[in-house]
Amino acid sequence: MSSGNDRQPQTLTKPALGEREAAELVDRVFGLKVVWIRSLPSYDDQNFHVRVSAEGADEYVLKITNSEDSQEPDLIEAQTQAMMFLSVEGFPSATPYLTKDGNIMSLESRGTTPGSKKYMVRLLTYLPGTPVAKITTNAQILYEIGRLAASVDKVLSEKFQHPSVKSLHRGQFIWNLANVPLLDQYIYALGQNKYRAVVEQVIEQFKGKVIPKLSSFRACINHGDLNDHNILVESSSASLENPQYRVSGILDFSDMSYGYYVFEVAIVIMYMMIESPDPLSVGGHVLAGFESILPLTAEERGALFLLVSGRFAQSLVIAAHTALQYPENKEYLTITAKTGWKHLMTMFEVGQKAVEKMWFETGQAYTYHTPAP
């Protein structure tokens, strides 16, 4: 769910290549003959699942970045280098197939006229697994995802070095959690209703209670979008009554930016709530996994409720705004909204103290009993 450094969502220009055009691109840029191709859902880029071998062993994702983000080659370089770094470090991250020129990406024009849009193109290894959105989550996988989020941010922040990393200082990037106050300019997309009133309350509380405390949070590099569609899992047990899962893939690094460790756990909690039958309990299991790697400080814990609420607000407001710009993609853009509004309203009805009590008591219970791997 990305947008560029300092630009706003309404300027997004999503690619719209057909399958034949995409297959020809793979041949021309990467020197591979596509034998099978299908479009994958996406927010503001365009993705295709391609197979280049009749045996089906060689599968990739062709990622065509929107024309605005394509003007930020250093940023895309940083994202791709981070994926390669994490793969070397043992994380289930995709890696790029090099172009015929030996590069990890290529800027391609669509059309030959002077004003033709240019798109950055990459071919990434296809990762197996089922999106978390398609399974019934349980305490075990929520804990594992919490551990994963902390581990990814920790290793990126402590060990990832590349000249392009400076591009992750993304200023007014709309999806960075520090920028919840920027939602003021898009809130009109909600119309006038009870939902808008709650979002306005979130924004005002965020300005007053979170923004002044940012300097006390521990800074890091955030993946920034570990949502229920960007984490793939595979079953690690045959039990139908008590299924166990392992993470088999981490997708979509386009929202990477410098932020804070507590941002990542808040983002994960919010997205794991979306598909859960018991959403308010989710936070404790995710938090326990995260804190098994990186315990939060008192200041970070105190901001968690508003950070989760802030991510709900970002997702719901930006989706509503972008759906007005791209009505043909409305169904995908508003996936989160189907249950997101209900969960945000419930959080505010139950109240911060009660929700935090539930999260922290669940997390504390893991001190005495850690789930089996």
DSSP string for residues in 308-353: HHHHHHHHHHHHHHHHHH-GGGHHHHTTTHHHHHHHHHHHHHH-HH
Note the pLDDT of residue 369.
62
Q: Does the pLDDT at position 96 exceed 50?
A: yes
d(Cα 248, Cα 108) in Å, to the nearest integer? 31
The answer to whether residue 325 scores a pLDDT higher than 90 is: no
From residue 264, give the alpha-carbon distance in Å to each of 17, 158, 225, 308, 312: 33, 16, 8, 10, 13
Mean model confidence pLDDT for the chain: 90
Q: Note the pLDDT of residue 7.
A: 42
> How does pLDDT run across 331-359, given as a tens digit for each residue?
766 777 878 999 999 999 999 999 999 99
Instruction: Give the residue among 363, 177, 160, 170 at the shortest CA–CA distance from 261.
Output: 177
Confidence band for 108, pLDDT divided at 50, 70 and 90: very high
| pLDDT above 90 for 257 | yes
Contact indicator for 141, 233 with CB cutoff of 8 Å: yes
Position 1 pLDDT exceeds 80? no
Instruction: State the pLDDT confidence band at 110, using cuts at 50, 70 and 90.
Output: confident
**Catalytic residue status for 278:** no
- Residue type for 16, please? A
Q: Give the tens place of pLDDT for each residue, 289-324.
A: 999 999 999 999 999 999 999 999 999 999 898 888
Dmax (CA) for the chain in angstroms is 66
- pLDDT over threshold 60, residue 372: no
What is the model's pLDDT at position 192? Answer: 86
Q: What is the pLDDT of residue 370?
A: 59
Count of Cβ atoms closer than 10 Å to residue 110 Cβ: 16
- Can you tell me the mean pLDDT for 32-56? 87
* Residue 197 or residue 332, greater confidence: 197
pLDDT beyond 60 at 11? no
The residues pairing with 260 across neighbouring beta strands, listed in sequence order, are 219
* pLDDT for residue 6: 40
Query: Residue 2 — very low, low, confident or very high, per pLDDT cuts 50/70/90?
Result: very low
CA angle 252, 258, 264 (to 5 degrees): 60
Tokens read off for 134: 């398609």
**Which range is least confidently modeled, 51-60, 63-72, 103-112, 248-257?**
51-60
Q: How confident is the model at residue 55 (pLDDT cuts 50, 70, 90)?
A: low
Backbone angles phi, psi at 227, to 5 degrees: -95, 180
Q: What are phi and psi for residue 84, nearest 5 degrees?
A: -65, -40
Q: Among 44, 225, 228, 252, which one carries the catalytic annotation?
A: 225
Of the listed ranges 30-44, 47-61, 168-182, 305-319, the one predicted with least confidence: 47-61
Give residue 180's identity as a one-letter amino acid code.
V
pLDDT bracket for residue 44 (50, 70, 90):
confident
